[in-house]
């Protein structure tokens, strides 16, 4: 494969770099072998600048993507944040509240029923805050903050 082989992927993708290589080869033919190292150094400097520029763009793009993910992270619904998780837990605790209330009422009377319902409400409150952490922040925030 020669230096000007079109199968070279880097050169096929970058027409300006390809032109620079062609100009360097032509200049070498015109000037002779005594200028080889200067011409090669010049071309390699251009290649290095291209690579540095591409790396800088990729790093900037990656950082921007990370910043966007971090900025949107609190607003983006989590995969586990589904209807079943939000309301299914509450429905299960309400179904279980019936036998718990009966057992608590049979053994401790009204104070047992109140205690069991405080526990049921507490468990549901903890689940609601776990699923939606912004719940504790209150409603004083404006819609622009979201």
Across the range 115-144, mean pLDDT stands at 77
- DSSP letters for 69-103: HHHHHTTSPPTT-SHIIIIIHHHHHHHHHHHHHHH
Domains of the chain by residue range: 9-73, 83-145
Question: What confidence score (pLDDT) does residue 44 get?
Answer: 85
Across the range 35-46, mean pLDDT stands at 83
Q: Which residue has the tokens 């605790």?
A: 93
CB of 24 closer than 8 Å to CB of 42: yes
Question: What confidence score (pLDDT) does residue 75 get?
Answer: 55
Instruction: Give this prediction's pTM.
Output: 0.40
- The pLDDT mean for the chain works out to 78
């Amino acid at each position: 494969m020669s230096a000007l082989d079109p199968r070279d992927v880097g050169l096929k993708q970058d027409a300006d770099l390809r032109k620079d290589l062609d100009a360097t080869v032509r200049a070498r033919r015109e000037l002779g072998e005594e200028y080889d190292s200067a011409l090669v150094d010049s071309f390699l400097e251009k290649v290095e600048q291209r690579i540095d520029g591409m790396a800088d763009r990729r790093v900037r793009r990656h950082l921007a993507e990370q910043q966007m993910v971090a900025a949107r992270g609190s607003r983006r619904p989590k995969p586990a944040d589904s209807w079943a998780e939000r309301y299914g837990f509450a429905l299960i605790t309400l179904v279980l509240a019936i036998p718990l209330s009966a057992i608590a009422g049979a053994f401790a009377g009204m104070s047992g029923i109140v205690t069991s319902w405080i526990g049921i409400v507490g468990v549901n409150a903890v689940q609601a805050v776990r699923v939606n952490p912004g719940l504790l922040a209150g409603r004083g925030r404006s819609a622009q903050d979201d």
